[in-house]
Amino acid sequence: MLDDITRVGEDFDTELEGASDVKALDELRVKYFGRKGGLIPALFGRLKEVPKEQKKDVGDALNKLRDRLEESLKEKSERIAADEARRKESREHVDITLPGRRPRLGSLHPITLVRLRMEEVFREMGYSIDPGPEIESDWYNFEALNFTPDHPARDTQDTFFLDANAKEGTPLLLRTHTSNVQIRTMEKFKPPVKVLSCGRVYRRDEITMRRSPMFHQAEALLVDKGIHIGHMRATIEHFIRRIFGEEAQIRLRPSFFPFTEPSAEVDMSCFFCKGKGCGTCSQTGWMEILGCGMVHPQVLRNVGIDPEEWSGFAFGMGIDRVAMLKYDIPNIRTLFENDLRVLQQF
């Protein structure tokens, strides 16, 4: 009987060693302490067969075994519970040394990026920024800028007029360029003036790869004493290099605008092929980028500035075109479709 008690104790130790979870422990508890067929109750049951003189020793051994086994089960069950809790905690543990997740931020539209960059470059040169109104009168959009009454740009084919049938006065229109800001600035401020105007302009164009009825222009005006074409060229060159890179070259070709004399188109060296010739520049190595000229004396007179005393230059360009060149966007429609997959790249 004492041997049996020892054997049960040893078996239990081995099995307890192997029990690694709550379920195994429960099974063990049933096997040894179960009311029906449990090994310990069975041993107690055999106590009555033990001869009287051994009863005390066997009883003591059995009690000791029962207490030891109960204690062991309790300990192991506590250890398993503690392990479980630790594992759970480590799963939910917050590692404060990990880098944080970036909040999802929006990005600026490529046209806005280019506009802000242009404004920054001109602000550095001391220009003020004035977007000007998009709804304009004939005077500011055409007349004061020296457009002849029969100039084709004044035709309803090219310009959006608001209420073209208005009986009194001339109808308002959606400005066709940002040059209206030239007149408004010179009317409002005595020279010297330096202003950059960036904003939306409107023309009755079909939507194509290159054209849109609404697009964005930037226009610079400077009026001061002794200003000549060299100042204009240097300013344009500085501006182009700040936007497209220091290696950019420019060239001027004679052109015509009603409000400047002389007038020129400015080409810049193609920055895709660095002037060698490629598909984007039609193998010429040059790309048309802006129009410019010395402010026409009649325009100065129209706003009460004496062209004998003051002179100035103006130049303007499409912000959309600059954005398309800078970011290699072949189709202007891409800029206005607001496809997030496109915009998220900026």
CB contact at 8 A, 271 and 278? no
Q: Considering only the stretches 177-185, 226-234, 264-272, 331-339, report the one whose residues sit in contact with Zn ion under the rule CB under 5 A.
A: 264-272
Residue 270 beta carbon to Zn ion: minimum distance, rounded to whole angstroms: 3
Q: What sign has the CA pseudo-torsion 126, 129, 130, 134?
A: positive
Residue 157 beta carbon to Zn ion: minimum distance, rounded to whole angstroms: 34
Binding Zn ion (rule: CB under 5 A), the pick from 278, 303, 342, 343 is 278
Binding Zn ion (rule: CB under 5 A), the pick from 272, 298, 303, 307 is 272
CA distance 330 to 324: 6
Residue 209 beta carbon to Zn ion: minimum distance, rounded to whole angstroms: 18
Dmax of the chain from CA atoms? 141
Q: Considering only the stretches 86-94, 124-132, 140-148, 275-283, report the one whose residues sit in contact with Zn ion under the rule CB under 5 A.
A: 275-283
Q: Considering only the stretches 10-18, 149-157, 247-255, 266-274, report the one whose residues sit in contact with Zn ion under the rule CB under 5 A.
A: 266-274
Residue 240 or 295: the one with the smaller Cβ distance to Zn ion is 240
280-299: which residues touch Zn ion (CB under 5 A)? 280-281
Cβ-Cβ contacts under 8 Å for 308 (sequence gap 6 or more): none
46-85: which residues touch Zn ion (CB under 5 A)? none
Residue 238 beta carbon to Zn ion: minimum distance, rounded to whole angstroms: 22
Query: Judged by CB under 5 A, does residue 227 bind Zn ion?
Result: no
Half-sphere exposure of 173 (CA within 13 A, CB side): 29
Cβ-Cβ contacts under 8 Å for 121 (sequence gap 6 or more): 238, 239, 242, 243
CA distance 141 to 158: 13
Task: Give the DSSP H/E element, type plus range, for residue 122.
Answer: helix 110-124
Q: Quick check: helix, strand or coil at residue 265?
A: strand
Residue 244 beta carbon to Zn ion: minimum distance, rounded to whole angstroms: 12
Residue 281 beta carbon to Zn ion: minimum distance, rounded to whole angstroms: 3
User: Would you tell me how many other CB atoms lie within 10 Å of the CB of residue 189?
Assistant: 13
Tokens of residue 324, six digits:
């398309």
Query: Judged by CB under 5 A, does residue 273 bind Zn ion?
Result: yes
Residue span 90-119 as binding mask against Zn ion, x where in contact by CB under 5 A, dash where not: ------------------------------
R_g (Cα) of the chain, nearest Å: 45
Binding Zn ion (rule: CB under 5 A), the pick from 270, 292, 319, 322 is 270
| Residues of this chain that bind Zn ion (CB under 5 A) | 270, 272-273, 278, 280-281
